[in-house]
Amino acid sequence: MSSDFRVSVVIPTFNRRELVRRAIRSVVEQTRAADEIIVVDDGSTDNTEDVVKKYFPRVRYIRQENQGVSAVRNLGIEKSSGNWIAFLDSDDAWLPKKLERQIQALKENPSFSVCHTDEIWIRRGRRVNPKKKHRKFGGAVFEKCLPLCVISPSSVLIGRGVFDRFGLFDTALPVCEDYDLWLRICGFLPVLYLGEPLVVKYGGHKDQLSRQYWGMDRYRIYALEKIVDDKRLDEKKRGTAIRMLLKKIDVYLTGARKRSKREEIAFYEGKREGYSRLLLEVSSYKKD
């Protein structure tokens, strides 16, 4: 990747006029300044625009009609000018040396084009320890990405060329859009990981997307189907992805059966049968 680090920071927001001030301030106060800060407003009905323009006149403000977080991030990427892109959710914040540490690490490891960091979790005003399943990793992390999202968008610094190669966020996904993107990227690229917590993630508030959608595994199933269908993926990874896909289908089927959702039961049972056959084919191919 280029040693010339021109960093654009994309901050998506929706009706978070106070929280977005904290997010922007944490970028402005970086020891290594961002080259560009873009706030993309997904059609807020509060006075987010007034707040951003009043307190941060040098920040670029872009507004679109409400289309969801994927479309917001994608617009920010498309409008940005940097060759490196960082994201910051408007309810999160960076610690002051976040960009400095990542850029230093990427200069020392020039073969990487994706870098993420550890993070501090705050839930309802109190610090909590992430569970073991949320542990972060570096290197070839594809298998680690399969159960759930283990790379936080607010922690990542990513080369623009990665999006040219693997695409943007999938606007068909209202949630798990980050899970989907990391699968597509990590199926082919290693990632650089800094074990230093450089991001503060705040949770527990009502407008968190993960609290607004039931049956999250249906979105992970969709993402897993996409990566399984990617012809560039090697057979070993495809087999591993299919096994996780079958687990996610089983979890979703358990919930559907409890709720007597007959059409969904039939639909996902059909999926399960099809991917079970595909797994046998992939396993047979590996033996040959």
| Overall average pLDDT of the 23-42 stretch | 98
| Overall average pLDDT of the 72-87 stretch | 98
CB 161 within 8 A of CB 113: yes
Task: Give the C-alpha distances (Å, rounded to integers) separating 173 from 6, 177, 179, 201, 222.
Answer: 29, 6, 10, 22, 9
**Per-residue pLDDT band at 220 (split at 50, 70, 90):** very high
DSSP state string for 206-271: TT-GGGT-S-THHHHHHHHHHHHT-TTS-HHHHHHHHHHHHHHHHHHHHHHHHTT-HHHHHHHHHH
**Per-residue pLDDT band at 15 (split at 50, 70, 90):** very high
**Residue 47, φ and ψ in degrees, nearest 5:** -100, 45
